[in-house]
Structure 1
């Protein structure tokens, strides 16, 4: 069931629709990302909806709790989304960020969304950045969680290929239930994945498929094959600019957003600000959800529909 708010935006903000023309590439797509709308009938139609994009090996379910809190405190419609090759979204042969941005823009078109605030963690942050850079008029504000478009984390580059390979190698001994399959995977992965939160998150991606078999909901083969595209940021996007409000939130104990990245980040996002949450790592929204939500909600409340959003700096 679609959210009435999202459809109403098409009519309430017809001026914006005339200014924003989706590219033919987006319109030609035959699939739509899986999503869940939070807050139907209890949100403010005068403010932009909030779209949330998860990180690598996560899915929309992992962000529902935070999404509901954002909804309750801001009265903004919140949409949690599965990126391609994750959750309930289609399995495809590519995982490039330009394509993920097109996936998201196609979802906007389907829902009648002219403009939204974006929150993205890890690879979801890179996808959100690409949306803002490719169609800035459609992004009211951008919050990027513990990922940089400049630096490549050694932890990411060295550890995640091993994790993906280990996931591919997991053998399911004909489990009769998803619970049994997850226990088998835990046993086989626990020596490599020592972070308990990440381990539990990974095995939560095991589910019963439409054909009745039990296995990974992730497209592990594509994620392995496309990993170099996952850890880097598209060069084609680095020459673009998004002049809207932009906040990078990093974990103090994480290496994903080095402070020295701020200057090159501002080449793409001139209004970017970086803030760090003390005693948190890459999964800062899990390590300190209270601080993360305080920062996030304060930032979102500043976003409003922009009928004449400037794609270039004021002169």
Structure 2
């Protein structure tokens, strides 16, 4: 992969200027006030500092995903590139707080709020599915904080049939599952799998769903994610915010799609480049929506090459 295919990212900006700019342009005070403090895990030996020569790398998971699923890949990326990684649980997921809303505007402010908390001036963002759309929104709102984007199998232009039709059924089935007799997490996962196996179409999606079964703070077993809010706000989750499509991010952007997936259609390329003029789109053969799981070797090669070219 040639370095010249990627543009150089912009420099960071100090916190007061950023927040004032956000409030005075796209974001209302409502979105700023509604941020939650995200759970995260820093992968790397040193603490994250604001003006590191090598910007941190943030990883944002897919709908129903959790940060822990990225542990092995994140460690490999860190070991090879020397870049510090921050794996994040987005709102209503994993160990992050539940909130009564789930719009990309709010997910974006949550991530920017985490930048501020960790004193991160610049970062590259890797995002899968819903996390990829969140990463795109962050770049379109706070472009000078984002040195590059790696977007995994999602588009800001179209919504695939699988997301539009299958996921609402999965969420409804999750909501209807009764945990009241569950005594152990593994037993609860087994029973949940039996109820969902006629709805969930592949093993990787099933694994993602079942990763949400956990012991909650009150000692009961249940879903770690906020299923009811996902159902209520699914129209926002499945669609990229229209207001974002009139903005542009000129930094280096790599879209990695699964050749066998419908989440990143080749027909979207022209419209994607209207929003991300430097976008490079590549497809990994024989992979589905979870390209980083189906072919981790190729995914790591593309990711590491991009990070080295844009550091």
TM-score norm. by structure 2 comes to 0.89
* Partner secondary structure for residue 104 of structure 1: helix
Quick one: distance in 2 between partners of 1:228 and 1:43? Answer: 36
Quick one: distance in 2 between partners of 1:236 and 1:27? Answer: 17
Aligned to 2:256: 249
Q: 1:230 to 1:76 in 2, by over 3 A?
A: same
Quick one: distance in 2 between partners of 1:43 and 1:224? Answer: 36
Aligned to 2:203: 196
Aligned to 2:85: 78
Quick one: distance in 1 between partners of 2:293 and 2:12? Answer: 39
CA RMSD in angstroms comes to 1.9
Matched, 1:239 2:236: no
- Which range moves more in the overlay, 125-134 or 192-201? 192-201
Tell me, yes or no, if the aligned pair for 1:60 and 1:80 is still in contact at 8 Å.
Answer: yes
Aligned to 1:280: 287
Aligned to 2:120: 113
TM-superposition CA deviations, 1:140-173 (whole Å, max 9, x none) = 0011000000011011101000011111111224
Q: CA deviation at 1:18?
A: 7.0
TM-superposition CA deviations, 1:30-74 (whole Å, max 9, x none) = 631111100132999320000000001111011111111110110
Quick one: distance in 2 between partners of 1:21 and 1:37? Answer: 24
Quick one: distance in 1 between partners of 2:12 and 2:155? Answer: 34
Aligned residues: 291
Gaps of 5+ in 1: 1-13, 305-315
Whose RCO is larger (CA < 8 A, sep 6+)?
2
Tell me, yes or no, if the aligned pair for 1:43 and 1:75 is still in contact at 8 Å.
Answer: no
Quick one: distance in 1 between partners of 2:206 and 2:36? Answer: 30
Tell me, yes or no, if the aligned pair for 1:20 and 1:114 is still in contact at 8 Å.
Answer: no
Matched, 1:160 2:167: yes
Aligned to 1:35: 40
Which of 21, 32, 35 lines up with 2:18 in the alignment? 21
TM-score norm. by structure 1 comes to 0.88
Gaps of 5+ in 2: 1-10, 24-28
Tell me, yes or no, if the aligned pair for 1:49 and 1:78 is still in contact at 8 Å.
Answer: yes
TM-superposition CA deviations, 1:4-49 (whole Å, max 9, x none) = xxxxxxxxxx974279522454764563111110013299932000
TM-superposition CA deviations, 1:268-310 (whole Å, max 9, x none) = 1110111000000001111000000100110011223xxxxxx
Aligned to 2:303: 296
Question: Equivalences for 1:129-140 in 2 at 5 Å?
Answer: 129-140=136-147
